[in-house]
Amino acid sequence: MKKLLSKITQFVVASVVLSAATLAAQAQSPQLTSLLAKMDAASKSFRSAQADFQWDYYEKIVHDTTTQTGSIYFQREPAGTEMGAIITDPSKTKVVKAIHFKGTELQMFDPGVNQITVLNESSNQGEIESFLTLGFGAGGTDLAKVWNITDMGPETIDGVATEKLDLVNKNPETRKSVLHVTIWVDAARAVALKQVAYQSGGNYRTATYKNIHLNSSIDKSKFAVKTDKKSQTIRR
């Protein structure tokens, strides 16, 4: 599970100081209670989202930041959330990595070496989805079930009013790899315009999302993991 969550945070999710918040503390904050209720309302009408992203991964040991850009979608299905993403080269004309998650399986395809890596963790599907839906479609009630939340106040991102929330996962095993996550959430749409995930060892990943389209038709062929007879599959 730890390895799979590490891969997910590496490619998908994106915190500032560790929070000591508890659900009891949350209940004492009318502002946070109202915010989570707005997210619940927005989540009920959420069916899908598509956006462009930039992921910046800072690796402390080498003091270097790696940047990736591309597009991502989330689609709510009866059995859970489906996610697809493509990472493109600087010219945005060539796919350098494709990622797909559905059910309990995460696939990562690298066209450069024609290799697909498949990760499966059926016993922890719920927690995996708690990361995948963190910024897209998650309701406030669901958020509070998985995370201890600290409301850090309002902040404007790209002209949009957001609320800055710091989240600490309630699972101690998860906190060994993902210390905490900060999100800037547009509660009216149940989407996060920015996420920062702080990992053990001082590494962190910043994710920013733009051109967000909700509940629109998604061309999944754009995000397809395209293999051929020569593709090598590795299962972990």
In the chain, the number of structural domains is 1
71 vs 2, residue with greater confidence: 71
235 C-beta neighbours (distance < 10 Å), count: 9
Q: What is the pLDDT of residues 3-29, one digit of tens each?
A: 444 544 444 443 222 222 333 333 447
**Averaged over 136-146, what is the pLDDT?**
88
Distance in angstroms (rounded) separating the CA atoms of residues 134 and 74? 11
Q: What is the pLDDT of residues 80-101, one digit of tens each?
A: 788 999 999 887 778 999 999 8
At 152 the pLDDT is 94
At 196 the pLDDT is 95
Looking at every residue in the chain, the average pLDDT score rounds to 83
Contact status, residue 110 vs residue 97, Cβ threshold 8 Å:
yes
Distance in angstroms (rounded) separating the CA atoms of residues 189 and 35? 11
In which element (H, E) is residue 235 found? Answer: strand 232-235
Is the pLDDT assigned to residue 61 strictly greater than 80? yes
Is the pLDDT assigned to residue 110 strictly greater than 70? yes
Q: What is the pLDDT of residues 157-211, one digit of tens each?
A: 999 999 999 999 998 988 888 899 999 999 889 899 999 999 989 999 999 999 9
Question: Cα 100 vs. chain centroid, distance in angstroms?
Answer: 13
**pTM for the whole thing?**
0.81
Report the CATH number that the domain containing residue 18 is assigned in CATH: 2.50.20.10
What residue numbers bound the domain in which 163 lies? 2-235
At 69 the pLDDT is 95
